[in-house]
Each structure stands twice: as C-alpha cells, then as structure tokens.
Amino acid sequence: MVTAEISIIPVGTGSSSVSDYVAAAVSELEASGIKCTVTATGTSVEADSPSQLYEALGRAQEAVFDTGVERAYTILKMDDRRDGREPSENEMVRSVRESQEG
C-alpha cells in the first residue's frame, strides 16, 4: 500500500484562489479509484502501488493544465510500505495518537 500527500500548485493564474484547480485535480484522482482526502494544504491519497499513484498523479496534473494554466508546481510525499502490513491512513494517525497518550 502507498500513502501519499499531493499538492499541485498552478503558477501564473492572476488570483490567490486555487479551489477550481484543486477541484479539477481531485476529480481526476477520484476517477482513478484511489482514496482521496482533501486537506487545507494538500490531498492525502491511498493507492495499491506506486505505478497506480503515478498514473493518477499524471492525470491530475493534466487536469490542472486543461484549466488553462501554463505552469504547475507539484509536490509529492510518498510512503511505500512493503513489510506485509498495510495500515490505512486512519490507522497510521490512530497509532500516533495512541503513542501520545501512552
């Protein structure tokens, strides 16, 4: 399982608002079948493999370019876990919270 955070930042839009661009990218990510959680600073995703993630990311980037921007800055942080455990994003957060308590 791969968990990641993606931010695709359109450059040169003439506006400080990016919600339309984020919506275009998230629509493509969701259409790819990967789980998405939109946050204030990026989108958390869960994919079965890096290749599934890269394909979805490529489509999301194209969706941003399809809005008319000519430049996009993309940030990808990825955790590719292959030790047999496949904790979900929620399980990973819960583990941290339990460590804080205990």
Question: What CATH number does residue 57 fall under?
Answer: 3.30.70.930
pLDDT of 75: 97
Q: Is 71 helix (H, G, I), strand (E, B) or coil?
A: strand
Cα separation, 92 vs 56, whole angstroms = 23
Instruction: Report the run of H or E that residue 35 belongs to, with start and end.
Output: strand 35-38
- Per the structure, the count of domains in the chain is 1
For 45-60, the pLDDT digits (tens) are 999 999 999 999 999 9
Contact 72, 65 (CB under 8 A): yes
Q: In terms of residue numbers, what domain contains 56?
A: 2-101
For 61-90, the pLDDT digits (tens) are 999 999 999 999 999 999 998 887 777 777
pLDDT beyond 80 at 102: no
Residues 1-29 as b or e (16 or more Cβ within 10 Å = b):
ebbbbbbbbbeebeeeebeebbebbbebb
